[in-house]
Amino acid sequence: MRRACGIVVLTVCLLPAGLAAQPASAPAAGQVFVIRARALIDGASARPIPDPEIVVAGRRIAAVYRRDGRPLPTGATVIDLGSATVLPGLIDCHTHIFLQGEVPAAGGYDVQLLKYPLSYRVARAVVAARQALEQGFTTIRDVETEGAGYGDVGIKQAIEEGYIPGPRMFVVTRSISTTGGYPLEGYAPEIVVPKGAQLVDGPVEARKAAREQLDHGADWIKVYMTHRSWIGAHGELVSQPTLTVEELRAIVDETHGWQRKVACHAYNGIGLQRALDGGCDSIEHGLELSDAQIAQMLRQGTWYVPTLAVYYYDPEPADTPAGQRDRKRVELHGVSFGKALRAGVKIAFGTDAGGFVWTDPIAQEFAREVEFGMTPMQAIQSATSRAAELLGRSGELGVVAPGAYADLIAVAGDPLASVTALKDVDFVMKDGVTFKAPPVAAGR
């Protein structure tokens, strides 16, 4: 580090060295950073900006321009990221911090609800939130707590107040399904077991559940419109529908009245059709989309959050009904994604992280998006400006531009040459505070 003309210069080399992660806190009063790098992918523009300088004042970005020798703000600290590429903090629109990639050997899903104290689940969710931030995801839409009640609301608050590090969170709390529409299941009917979602039957109960969840802090409402799936008599994927259109309409009407939105888990078929007819704002997963359903999504402006990569995890053996179902899901999903993309459906990045362990790269989803037709830039924008649009925060999140929150990441490689570079995020700033940076090399 050296001081020259009142400017502090930090030269940060992006080497795969031990990375320091500090708790988040508010930026120091009057703190100004100028960030330099080889290139900036700003989340919205079609092309990267070479040799950028990004001026961060407090929590926000003050200026972004191509380096031209102009004088820097007095007292500014320069963070020189060398040959790195800077991007906006990434946004994952479909996560579960209260899941930890439950594998059958570790007891699967059921032990989470039956055996673990809530405090244990909260402790692990706190770790998951930090791991998301360490991977460069500065914002998540966390789409249900899986039996952990309103735990997401408290974790979001603790992050916002700086007690624990983590991404900005948009939370849905308990989520909603119907009787017969969510685990735990398979127990003797005489035994009452907890359920991973709030189960409702009828429009009155549906609206009441939405009201309760909104009252207790839900930013979005999450609804399960399909549940079990299997291979039908003609080799087709069949999914059990859950809520009726009338039930969903009650939820959507209530939620829209609160100026909030509804995300619908929907695989295909009847349940997905009911999701669209009921006015759902985002289709989650959407394994099989018919041409008519794609046309309806375009008409209604429905978002698609596909979560491709998670379906490649641990398929059941190929010669079992469950194994055939798992393979059918994957086969249909990529085709649906390609069709929706070509038709112009609005697509936002989501992964179902938590459905796989948080130490796995969340950014593995980018390669699947590219495999099924996106350009690397489209894939990046699905997790930046497009995701921000889904969240109703365009211009503030998912973009490196004046006025936006100073949520920035950097990678050593060129993510436009290979999106796998996004798996190795070396620098993370959230809200103008550097959360993760390689060791600082002295002098320059």
Which residues form the interface with Zn ion (CB under 5 A)? 352
Question: Which residue in the block uniquely carries the two structure tokens 């003797």?
Answer: 188
Check if the beta carbon of residue 436 is closer than 8 Å to that of residue 427: yes
> What b/e string do you get for 79-93 counting C-beta neighbours within 10 Å, with b at 16 or more?
bbbbebbbbbbbbbb
Measured between alpha carbons, how far is 329 from 237 in angstroms, rounded to an integer?
A: 7
Minimum distance, C-beta of residue 282 to Zn ion, in the bound complex (Å): 12
- Residue 80: name the closest of 45, 34, 126, 43 by CA: 34
Minimum distance, C-beta of residue 103 to Zn ion, in the bound complex (Å): 16
For Zn ion, give the closer residue by CB, 94 or 386.
94
Minimum distance, C-beta of residue 57 to Zn ion, in the bound complex (Å): 37
* Residue 205: its H or E element: helix 203-215
Minimum distance, C-beta of residue 414 to Zn ion, in the bound complex (Å): 31
Tokens of 51: 């040799």
Measured between alpha carbons, how far is 267 from 238 in angstroms, rounded to an integer?
A: 9
Minimum distance, C-beta of residue 272 to Zn ion, in the bound complex (Å): 15
Tokens of 411: 């990678």
Q: Using the 8-state DSSP alphabet, how is residue 16 labeled?
A: S
**Secondary structure class of 214 (helix, strand, coil):** helix
Q: Using the 8-state DSSP alphabet, how is residue 68 labeled?
A: -
Length, in residues, of the chain: 444
Long-range own/partner contacts, residues 114-120 (CB < 8 A, 24 or more apart): 114/184, 114/193, 114/194, 118/148, 118/149, 118/151
Check if the beta carbon of residue 354 is closer than 8 Å to that of residue 313: no
Task: Please give the backbone phi and psi of residue 95, each rounded to the nearest 5 degrees, phi first.
Answer: -130, 170
Minimum distance, C-beta of residue 326 to Zn ion, in the bound complex (Å): 16
For Zn ion, give the closer residue by CB, 140 or 409.
140
For Zn ion, give the closer residue by CB, 99 or 410.
99
Q: Alpha helices, DSSP H only, in 240-306?
A: 245-257, 269-277, 291-300
Chain centroid to Cα 23, Å, comes to: 21
For Zn ion, give the closer residue by CB, 48 or 355.
355
Minimum distance, C-beta of residue 163 to Zn ion, in the bound complex (Å): 26
For Zn ion, give the closer residue by CB, 369 or 431.
369
Minimum distance, C-beta of residue 197 to Zn ion, in the bound complex (Å): 11
For Zn ion, give the closer residue by CB, 362 or 409.
362
Measured between alpha carbons, how far is 407 from 427 in angstroms, rounded to an integer?
A: 11
For Zn ion, give the closer residue by CB, 284 or 407.
284
Minimum distance, C-beta of residue 143 to Zn ion, in the bound complex (Å): 6
Helix 203-215 / helix 245-257 crossing angle, nearest 10 deg? 30
For Zn ion, give the closer residue by CB, 352 or 426.
352
- Residue showing the smallest CB distance to Zn ion in the complex: 352
With left for phi above 0 and alpha for psi between -120 and 50, is residue 65 left, alpha or beta? beta
Minimum distance, C-beta of residue 88 to Zn ion, in the bound complex (Å): 24
For Zn ion, give the closer residue by CB, 134 or 352.
352
Minimum distance, C-beta of residue 302 to Zn ion, in the bound complex (Å): 17
For Zn ion, give the closer residue by CB, 207 or 222.
222
For Zn ion, give the closer residue by CB, 254 or 352.
352
Identify the burial level of 211 via C-beta atoms within 10 angstroms of its C-beta, where 0-12 means exposed, 13-18 middle and 19 or more buried: middle
